[in-house]
Amino acid sequence: MLFYNEVNVRKQSSTLNILKRIPLLILSLSLSLSLSLSLSVGMAAMAERLMHAVQYESYGGGAAGLKHVEVPIPTPKKDEILLKLEAASLNSADWKIQKGYLRPLFPCKFPHIPVTDVAGEVLEVGQGIKNLKAGDKVVASISFPRAGGLAEFVVVSQSLTVIRPPEVSAAEAAGLPMAGLTALLALYQIPGVKLDGTGKQINILVTAASGGVGHYAVQLAKLGNAHVTATCGARNIELVKSLGADEVLDYKTPDGAALRSPSGRKYDAVVHCATGIPWSTFEPNLSEKGKVIDLTPGASAFLTFALKKLTFSKKQLVPLQESPKKEHLDYLVKLVKDGKLKTVIDSKHSLSNAEDAWAKGIDGHATGKIIVEP
C-alpha cells in the first residue's frame, strides 16, 4: 500500500508539472507563430514596395521618351545583389540603344529602365554571395540586356561589382565602369605601355580628350609614362592640360582637324574616342608601327582593319573588342582612392530631373561624366 501511494503521489506530481508547463508551451508556440507571421508579412511588404524609376517604352523619343514610373523593388537571385542607389552615370551607349542603334539585340524587352553604371549601398545579397554583405558600399556595372540604373534600387551581378572605399565618392565611382574600363582596355592594347610608369616613353594621341572616356585615357596614358597629345574643344583645353596632357589641340583648328602634333611627333598609338575621323587623317601622323585603337568602330573601321591585316601593313587600325573583368574595375577604384585618377563630373541631376541629364548626354558636349542621383 505504501508503494502504491508513493507511485500515486509521483503520478500526481508529474501531472501537476505538465499542467504548469502548458502555459509556457502555449506562449512559446504563440511567439513562434507571431515571429513567423511577422517575417512573412515583412517579406511580403518588401516584395510589394514600389520604387521610383525612369524608363522608355519604345525606340526613339530622346529625353521626351523617358517616363517616370513606380515599379516593384527587384528581388536578388542566388548570385545577385540588391543595391540602394547613390549615383548612376550616363554613357553614350545608353541613348544610342534608345535610338535603336543595337536593334533588335538591345533592349531585350520594353519597357526598359536604362543606365548600366551605378554606385550604392548593399541592402540584400543572394545565397551565393559570400564576399559582400548588407551595408557595404560598392560600384557596379549592369549588363545592357538587364540595365536598371535609372531607379532608386537595382539588382546587380557579382561579376562586375567591387567594394568602394570611403575615400571614393559614389559619383566618382559611378563614372568608372564603362568609360574608365574602356580607356583602360584601350591602353592595354598598346605595346610597351605599363601603367606603373616603368615602360619606355611612347607618343599617344587621345581624341575627344575631355569626354567621358577621353579624360580617363589621358590620365591613364600619363601613368604609363607616355607623351600625350590630346584633342578637345577650345573651352576644355586648360582642363585637359590639368589632367596631364603634354600638348592639346583644338579640334576645330586646321592643325587640330589634321591631328598634327605641335611638336612634330608621330604617334605610336591613338586612343580614338571621337567619331567621323577617316583613316586617311590618322595614317600620315602615325609612326612606322603606329596603331589606332578605335573605341566606337563602324563598318568603315572594320573594313580598314581587315584591309591592313590582309596587306600586312605595319600601321594598324584595331577595333576595341575586349571584355572588362572585375579586377580591372577594382584597379581603377584603387587608383581613384590613391589620388592617381579622378572622375571629372560635368553635372549632377536628380532622378526626378533625369530628362535633363539624358538631353545633355545626347547633345554630346559633356565635359567628363553626367551623374544622376536618386
Pull the grid cell for residue 235.
573651352
Pull the grid cell for residue 6.
508513493
Instruction: Specify the pLDDT at position 239.
Output: 98
What separation in angstroms does the CA of 3 have from each of 11, 15, 81, 117?
12, 18, 69, 83
Cβ neighbors of 43 (< 8 A, separation 6 or more) are none
Pull the grid cell for residue 167.
575615400
Q: What is the pTM of this model?
A: 0.86
Instruction: Specify the pLDDT at position 34.
Output: 44
Lowest mean pLDDT among 39-48, 87-96, 189-198, 202-211: 39-48
Cβ neighbors of 278 (< 8 A, separation 6 or more) are 300
d(CA 79, CA 127): 7
Lowest mean pLDDT among 4-8, 292-296, 323-327, 369-373: 4-8
- Contact (Cβ atoms closer than 8 angstroms) between residue 138 and residue 122: yes
- Contact (Cβ atoms closer than 8 angstroms) between residue 293 and residue 190: yes
On the question of pLDDT at 3 being above 90, the answer is no
pLDDT, average across residues 255-263: 97
Burial pattern 295-318, b for ≥16 Cβ within 10 A else e, equals bbbeeebeebbeebeeeeeebbbb
- DSSP labels, 171-223: HHHHTIIIIIHHHHHHHHTSTT--TTTTSPP-EEEESSTTSHHHHHHHHHHHH
Burial class of residue 290 in the structure, from the number of CB atoms within 10 Å of its CB (0-12 exposed, 13-18 middle, 19+ buried):
buried
Question: What would the pLDDT profile of 307-323 be if each residue is shown by its tens digit?
Answer: 888 887 899 999 998 88
Instruction: Specify the pLDDT at position 6.
Output: 38
Instruction: Specify the pLDDT at position 301.
Output: 80
Residue 236 identity: N
- DSSP labels, 46-92: HHH-EEEEEEBSSS--GGGG-EEEEEEPP---TTEEEEEEEEEE--H
Please give the distance of CA 31 from its chain centroid, rounded to a whole number: 45
- DSSP symbol at 265: P
- DSSP symbol at 232: E
Whole-number percent of the chain with pLDDT over 70: 87
- Contact (Cβ atoms closer than 8 angstroms) between residue 214 and residue 239: no
Instruction: Specify the pLDDT at position 272.
Output: 97
Ramachandran class of 197: left when φ > 0, alpha when ψ lies in -120 to 50, beta otherwise: left
Evaluate the omega torsion of the peptide bond into residue 107 and state whether it is cis, within 30 degrees of 0: yes
On the question of pLDDT at 20 being above 60, the answer is no
pLDDT, average across residues 84-96: 97
Instruction: Specify the pLDDT at position 1.
Output: 39
pLDDT band per the 50, 70, 90 thresholds, residue 45: very low
Instruction: Specify the pLDDT at position 111.
Output: 96
Burial pattern 31-59, b for ≥16 Cβ within 10 A else e, equals eeeeeeeeeeeeeeeeeeeebbbbbbeeb
Range of 2-6, 22-26, 35-39, 234-238 with top mean pLDDT: 234-238
On the question of pLDDT at 40 being above 60, the answer is no
On the question of pLDDT at 22 being above 60, the answer is no
pLDDT band per the 50, 70, 90 thresholds, residue 297: confident
Lowest mean pLDDT among 4-8, 175-179, 356-360: 4-8
Question: What would the pLDDT profile of 175-226 be if each residue is shown by its tens digit?
Answer: 999 999 999 999 999 998 999 999 899 999 999 999 999 999 999 999 999 9
List of domains in the chain:
50-175+343-373 (3.90.180.10), 180-319 (3.40.50.720)
Instruction: Specify the pLDDT at position 308.
Output: 82
Instruction: Specify the pLDDT at position 309.
Output: 83
Query: Between residues 307 and 88, which one has the greater pLDDT?
Result: 88
Please give the distance of CA 365 from its chain centroid, rounded to a whole number: 20
Pull the grid cell for residue 244.
596631364
| 35: three-class secondary structure by DSSP | helix
On the question of pLDDT at 293 being above 90, the answer is yes
Mean of the per-residue pLDDT values of the chain: 88
| 297: three-class secondary structure by DSSP | coil
